[in-house]
């Protein structure tokens, strides 16, 4: 376990699931957490348990909101060392039934929002010698049925991670990604199948070992965000209970 005292971490999606697990773990290891999510009541309940924690409600699909939360974090806490893009959404739909608005929302939340946050955070992270951890999905490295928008966005987030890693190879910034498989979070446990969906296609995403606990995936994210991972840059780690092993 790496001591993260003195570090400031901005964590999106911090109100529940994996984001809440990451925020809690970083806080317990000494980081000051700035949590971001849309649900203020749940977000406050998570962040108020963390010493010195701050939060802001925002919809990361909005570019101005992304800029504002990064600026507020840096202003309120004096620095920014770590950006962890956890927030995302996944709704299964037949591709031919996806509306323009649904497609745009899938990309906005899962890809464009993280881009805006990275762009706003990079000047602060370069100053601090910090790092970015993007939370993609195994849908970012393989196809999944009824998930065209989600897969496209998560593949894009993996590509964004690698592009930034190459661009900043010679500078004081690390960029990595984690691709979780199924986890025991509301996004997975509360999903609904579209009418007429083939359950056999859906279950192709499952690991024989079952769903992962968010706390176990949070451990990997915390490692990548810590100084213990100083040699790790441009990596894309899977945390899927062996689903993509072969």
Question: What are the residue numbers of the active site?
Answer: 150
**Using CB atoms within 10 A of its CB, is residue 174 exposed (0-12), middle (13-18) or buried (19+)?**
buried
Tell me how far apart the alpha carbons of residues 77 and 17 are, in angstroms, rounded to a whole number.
Answer: 25
Taking a C-beta distance cutoff of 8 angstroms, is the pair 18, 44 a contact?
A: no
In terms of DSSP bridges, do strands 82-85 and 54-57 run parallel, antiparallel, or are they unpaired?
unpaired
What are 114's two structure tokens? 């993280």
How far apart, in whole angstroms, are the C-alpha atoms of residue 207 and residue 182?
A: 8
Cα distance between residue 49 and residue 64, in whole Å: 28
Partners of 55 in beta bridges = 35
Q: Is 164 helix (H, G, I), strand (E, B) or coil?
A: helix
Three-class SS of residue 236? strand
Best CA proximity match to 50, nearest among 2, 1, 10, 81 = 10
Rounded distance, CA 96 to CA 78, Å?
A: 48
Calpha distance 176→158 (Å, rounded): 9
How far apart, in whole angstroms, are the C-alpha atoms of residue 164 and residue 167?
Answer: 5
């Amino acid at each position: 376990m790496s001591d993260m005292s003195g570090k400031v971490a901005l964590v999106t999606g911090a109100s529940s699931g994996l984001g809440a697990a990451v925020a809690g773990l970083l806080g317990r290891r000494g980081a000051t957490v700035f949590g971001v999510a849309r649900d203020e009541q749940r977000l406050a309940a998570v962040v108020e348990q963390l010493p010195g924690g701050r939060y802001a409600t925002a919809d990361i699909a909005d570019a101005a909101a992304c800029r504002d939360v990064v600026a507020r974090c840096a202003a309120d806490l004096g620095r920014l060392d770590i950006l962890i893009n956890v927030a995302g959404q996944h709704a299964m739909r037949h591709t031919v039934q996806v509306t323009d608005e649904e497609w745009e929302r899938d990309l906005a939340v899962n890809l464009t929002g993280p881009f805006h946050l990275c762009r706003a955070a990079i000047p602060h992270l370069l100053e601090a010698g910090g790092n970015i951890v993007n939370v993609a999905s195994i849908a970012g490295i393989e196809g999944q049925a009824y998930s065209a928008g989600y897969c496209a966005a998560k593949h894009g987030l993996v590509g964004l991670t690698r592009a930034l890693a190459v661009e900043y190879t010679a500078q004081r910034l690390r960029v990595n990604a984690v691709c979780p498989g199924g986890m025991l979070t509301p996004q997975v446990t509360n999903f609904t199948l579209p009418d007429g969906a083939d359950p056999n296609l859906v279950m192709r995403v499952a690991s024989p070992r079952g769903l992962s606990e968010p706390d176990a995936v949070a451990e990997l994210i915390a490692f990548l965000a810590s100084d213990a991972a100083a040699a790790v840059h441009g990596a894309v780690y899977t945390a899927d209970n062996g689903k993509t092993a072969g």
